[in-house]
Amino acid sequence: NTWLAVQMGTKAVLCCPHIPPTSVLILTSWKIHLRDKPSCTISLNRETNETGKNNCTDGRISWASRLDQNPELQIHPVSISHEGDYRCEMGTTDGNFQRTYHLQVLVPPEVILSPGKNRTVECKAIAGRPAAQIFWAPEGDCVTGKEYQDNGTVTTRSRCHYPDGNVSTVTCLVSHLTGNRSQSTDLLPDSSSSCLDGQQMALPPMEVTTSLSVQMGTKVVLYCPCIPLTRVLITTWRIRFRNKPSCKIAHDRETNQTIETNCVDRRITWASRPDQSPHLQIYATAITHDGYFRCQMATYHGNFRRGYHLQVLGLGTPESPGSTLLIILYAKLSLLVVILVMVGFAFFQWINDCRE
């Protein structure tokens, strides 16, 4: 007996058992017991070279080649209805030989990843056979369930919530016998507020400044003050670079228009739709992004501000391990030069003393 798993839509070839070279083949028959259909039989009489079909009406099940050469059975293309048991019986002058296949049909699921409100995200593995498994990276507060369809496929759904505001991107990992798949998405903040989970609402006048160091080449999200967006008139990001001209990005909630002044760096964008999330995203960060970033939210109750002194760490910054090694190497070389100079001075002094 052989367990055989094949993917739907492909071709499957089932082989009969080997018979001794001295045996004379008389009759070959395939007995097919499908899961959701009546059983059927396909046979070949080698003495009369006649074939027979008993209740076998599926044209996708046929002999693989010329019957006088090969008694293999072919299924093309494979569908879910072909799942079942296939047994080849060969009658010879030395007795009967049998081989049975337990055929399982695999259906790859369609994977859809959808971010939702309030830092939730849903991953669906649709119409898989058997049911797919879903894993998350990083792990969140998740609920997973399965929906069984009439055609034998299963849809797996997993919905996760990420209360940790430091998590900005999540990945759905789908495990299935037809192959593993993964999709990633950015989390959407709460569309009714600019607040992070667990953050208290700001009171005017409000201005907070934060020093932030990030590694060059990574993604950073800068957050505005915690304000209900229904109270916000205009959100403005003012950016003062260390070695470039300043620029400004603003969003008017009444007209839903974005205005950019002197901002040409496409790596600096809104983290999401500005009418849903006023936060700023920089990806990938570069040394040129060093500077001061300030979010100002104008409301009927006053202005709220939050600023970031952003420092990008790279090979040339003192905080990076690479620059620390360079500093140590430079100090050692400087010490070596001083020693050589002192040795050379002593040598020439000795020569002058000898001449005198």
Number of neighbouring beta carbons within 10 Å of residue 216: 16
From 1-5, 290-294, 313-317, the region with the lowest mean pLDDT: 313-317
| Residue 318 and residue 344 in contact, taking contact as beta carbons nearer than 8 Å | no
Peptide bond into 77 cis (omega under 30): yes
Q: Which of 158-162, 209-213, 228-232 has the highest mean pLDDT?
A: 158-162
Does pLDDT of 321 surpass 60? no
Between CA 81 and CA 79 the distance in angstroms is 5
Work out the average pLDDT over 7-18: 94
What is the per-residue pLDDT across 72-105, written as a single tens digit (0 to 9) for each?
Answer: 999 999 999 999 999 999 999 999 999 999 999 9
Two structure tokens written together for 54: 């008993």
Question: In terms of Cα–Cα distance, which of 100, 113, 89 is closest to 30?
Answer: 89
Half-sphere exposure of 127 (CA within 13 A, CB side): 5
Q: CB atoms < 10 A from the CB of 205, how many? A: 10
Strand order of the β-sheet with 220-222 is 220-222, 280-282, 268-270
Taking alpha carbons only, the member of 214, 293, 199 closest to residue 246 is 293
258-288 pLDDT per residue, tens: 999 999 999 999 988 888 778 899 998 999 9
Class of residue 105 by CB neighbours under 10 A (exposed 0-12, middle 13-18, buried 19+): buried
* 287 CA to centre of own chain: 28
pLDDT higher than threshold 50 for residue 193: no
Q: 301, 297, 305, 254: which is closest to 278 by C-alpha? A: 297
Vertex 152: Cα angle to 150 and 158 (nearest 5): 95
Better pLDDT: 347 or 58: 58
CA 282 to the chain's CA centroid: 21
Whole-number Cα distances in Å, 309 to 28, 33, 188, 210, 214: 82, 72, 24, 6, 11
Q: Within a 10 A sphere around the Cβ of 171, how many other Cβ atoms?
A: 15
Residue 205 DSSP symbol:
S
Per the CB < 8 A criterion, the answer to whether 297 and 194 are in contact is yes
Which of 7-16, 221-230, 314-323 is the least confident region? 314-323
CA angle 85, 86, 89 (to 5 degrees): 135
As a CATH number, domain 110-186 is: 2.60.40.10
**Given a cut of 70, is residue 349 above it in pLDDT?**
no
What dotted CATH number matches 206-313? 2.60.40.10
Indicate if the pLDDT at residue 338 is higher than 70.
no
> Would you say 289 and 241 are in contact if contact means Cβ atoms under 8 Å apart?
yes
State the chain's mean pLDDT as an integer.
83
C-alpha 237/C-alpha 190 separation (Å) is 20
Q: Binning pLDDT at 50, 70 and 90, where does residue 16 land?
A: very high
Extract the tokens encoding 231.
Answer: 């109270």
3-class DSSP assignment, residue 86: strand
CA pair distance 352, 21, nearest whole angstrom: 105
- Per residue in 55-79, is it b (16+ CB within 10 Å) or e — as a string? ebeeeebebbeebeeebbbebeebe
Element (DSSP H or E) covering residue 250: strand 247-252
- List the chain domain ranges: 2-106, 110-186, 206-313
Q: 2-106 belongs to which homologous superfamily?
A: Immunoglobulins (2.60.40.10)
Q: What average pLDDT does the segment 138-143 reach?
A: 90
pLDDT at 342: 65
Phi-psi region of 274 (alpha: psi -120 to 50; beta: other; left: phi over 0): alpha
Q: Do 137 and 170 contact (CB within 8 A), yes or no? A: yes
Tell me what pLDDT residue 323 has: 43
Amino acid identity, position 139: E
User: Is-same-fold flag (2-106; 206-313)?
Assistant: yes
Q: Which of 100, 78, 81 is nearest to 15 (CA)?
A: 100
Candidate from 45-54, 303-312, 323-332, 333-342 with smallest mean pLDDT: 323-332
